[in-house]
Chains A and B, each alone.
Chain A
Amino acid sequence: MYKITRKNILTPTICLMDVEAPRIAAAAMPGQFLIVRARPEGERIPLTICNYDRSAGTVTIVTQLIGASSRLICALEEGDCFTDVVGPLGRPSDFVEMPDEALRGRRYLFVAGGLGTAPVYPQAKYLHERGAKVDVIVGAKTADLLILRQEMASVCDHLYVCTDDGSEGHHGLVTEKIKLLLEAGETYDQAVAIGPMIMMKFVTLTLRDSGIPLVVSLNTLMVDGTGMCGCCRITVGGKVRFACVEGPEFNAYEVDFDEALRRQTMYRPQEQEADHKCKIGRN
């Protein structure tokens, strides 16, 4: 079960895997995520669903090496199995409830930061297939950290690349590109930002006065991911909400990003220690 049928190294720190999980592949919708455990002692790690192939019974996940647990995931090879994969979790994006006719011609702006490109892909694809007009801004530190560029280009009308160092596309932040597009007179019915929490915060500040509705997908800490532990709680519109069952997508303008940013650091000392130990173990 949960066999890795394909592994692609996208960048030195990001890998893509197709994983056998027929029930999840059959049920997954844009906006949802899953949880994996790489080994019997492993943590439950939430990952966004990048793609699903209902006939092959596989789901595609993209993992960035940022700590001990993601190091274990990235160390798995084709033919290896995850100990557990559970999902799809979270609510699908709101637009899956809309009839196809309503989506035709509707203008979407996606803002993807780093690994956030992975969960944007199935959303853009779903909308593109139904005739929506989809523009995507992708941001990365440098050109060689950009992922899924061709895939994304094939499911959108315009793909705008931003790099911090100017090695490709717009030299600068995604928020600057948003401003440039709006100043050029582009209009959108809906914007969606997925990426690091800090990026989503600044995209929200950038779009706040634009009148464009904005959805963000919150990558909070989670344990069970099924509405039991409350680890993923965030404040939205002044109320405590649970990202795992009520999200992960929320109205960006109501999210308390500073609290969400702070809560993400809850286990940082433990994580750093674990990663340190993990590397010692490798050498």
Chain B
Amino acid sequence: MAEKIGRVPVREQDPKVRAHNFEEVCYGYNEEEALLESSRCLNCRNPRCVQHCPVGIHIPAFIAQVKAGAFAEAAAVIARDSSLPAVCGRVCPQETQCEGSCILGVKGEPVAIGKLERFVADWSRANGGVPVEKAPANGKKVAVVGSGPSGLACASDLAKLGYDVTIFEVLHKAGGVLQYGIPEFRLPKERVVEPEIDSVRALGVKIETNVVVGRTLTVDDLLDREGFQAVFVGSGAGLPRFMGIPGESLNGVFSANEFLTRSNLMRAFDPASDTPIFVGKRVAVVGGGNVAMDAARTALRLGSKVTIVYRRTEKELPARAEEVHHAREEGIEFRMLTNPVEILGDENGWVRALRCIQMELGEPDASGRRSPIPVAGSEFDIPVDEVIMALGTSPNPLIAGTTKGLETERHGCIVADESGATSRPGVFAGGDAVTGAATVILAMGAGRRAAAAIDAYLKG
């Protein structure tokens, strides 16, 4: 019986070696491994994996094509619902989505859906990609603000429906968080991100970089002056959050966004880049999400000794399981139930230590997680010369502050309904700009729903 075969392991770079380079950690399946793994799928009649995919990829259908060796057909099945399969196969939290609901996971290990998706996407890219299928042009123009996951997903769907779509990107490279946030060793830029964005361009989507919507052009300019009939705002998460503890303005304290933007977007890890990056001897990264793992593993690769400081326990770590596992393998130290209370500086104003307090788990809070409480008198210092804060973000005020009649909630996130419609007719929003920092795939889901809503709105 097929289900008797265990999950096919994926080949990875040796942790000792990869701790010193920025090459991709995971090698992915080859054809033989993909064929074997695909044979484990039961092709359920009511596939729960599809329901748990934020963009609704027809998972058993694409896996059936892999099983038949029809990789191009498998890619075509995925392309109907996802414009970024090579990205999602690498960065989705599969364990809480498709794979988390796989029936095989009840008694054993779920089908490696993410690894199969990645295999199909990589094979397809190496073999000419998926032929473009799109409706005839309908002459209607839609502007998309931001070329991150939500904007790319929204733009792709609209382009397929025949819309004339222009994406406005503030940075000098398209991709949003895929460029500035997720490191090369997890998501290679030239090999994966750029071709994936090119495939969105191949649908006819125009991408204009270096345009700050809210400054260079406002949303009102797009609608009134530039001839767009609808606007999708997928401007992403915003300003980094800090803890509000003493010492956060010392030299040597960085937001994970700054640290990662320097390394990822500006490629500061590469000696050929002009952008500097600070490499501490001992680094504390505060936080437990994917961004914290990315910052920690980047610092490690640059040559620092790294400790992750998190106020709850390993069970509550919000990061993908695979990232935590990889970080541990690479030699990153984890200090759980530890919360910073102060950053201590030397006489010149540079970081010398992170003062923390021990925590214990108390009663479950509103989120159902047991909330950490400080243990009185348990303060201790971790000697470090660099602290990276990975505590999430609060919304960027640029668009909300310059768009008439665009409602925001009390944190500053744009208010949008399930379809992405905002308080302003013709203006839709989705992704982190609406939800606060979340995942690539949730942002893509929001972008797709908004594309459908924009289509309905413009068909009126």
Contacts and interface: CB of A to CB of B under 8 A. Distances in A.
B5 interface: no
Interface string A73-97: 0000000000111111100000000
B210 interface: yes
Chain A, interface SS category:
mixed
B258 A223 contact: yes
A39 B266 CA distance: 12
Contacts of B249: 233-235, 240, 256, 259, 263
Interface in B267-289: 267, 272-278
Nearest to B211: A23
Contacts of A235: 249
A265 B251 contact: yes
Contact of A37 (B172, B267, B348): B172
A143 interface: no
B257 A86 contact: no
A166 interface: no
Contacts of B216: 23-24, 27, 86-88
B227 to A, nearest CB: 15
B132 to A, nearest CB: 27
A23 B217 contact: yes
Given A223-B258, A226-B212, A245 B397 contact: yes
Contacts of A43: 266, 274-276
B258 A226 contact: no
Interface residues of B, number: 42
Contacts of B274: 39, 41-43, 68-69, 72, 274
Given A69-B274, A259-B249, A224 B261 contact: yes
Contacts of B397: 227, 245-246
A230 B215 contact: no
A80 to B, nearest CB: 17
B170 interface: yes
Best-surrounded residue of B180, B210, B261, B272 (most CB of chain A within 10 A): B210
A226 B255 contact: no
Contacts of A37: 172
B217 A227 contact: no
A270 B273 CA distance: 12
Contact of A242 (B210, B239, B251): B239
B349 A262 contact: yes
A280 interface: no
Which are the 3 A-B pairs with shortest beta-carbon distances? A270-B276, A229-B258, A230-B255
Contacts of A234: 249
B391 to A, nearest CB: 11
A188 B321 CA distance: 62
Interface in A80-122: 83-89
A246 B172 CA distance: 22
A165 B278 CA distance: 38
A259 B248 CA distance: 11
Interface in A57-76: 68-69, 72
B278 A267 contact: yes
A15 interface: no
Nearest to B210: A86
Contact of B272 (A41, A262, A267): A41
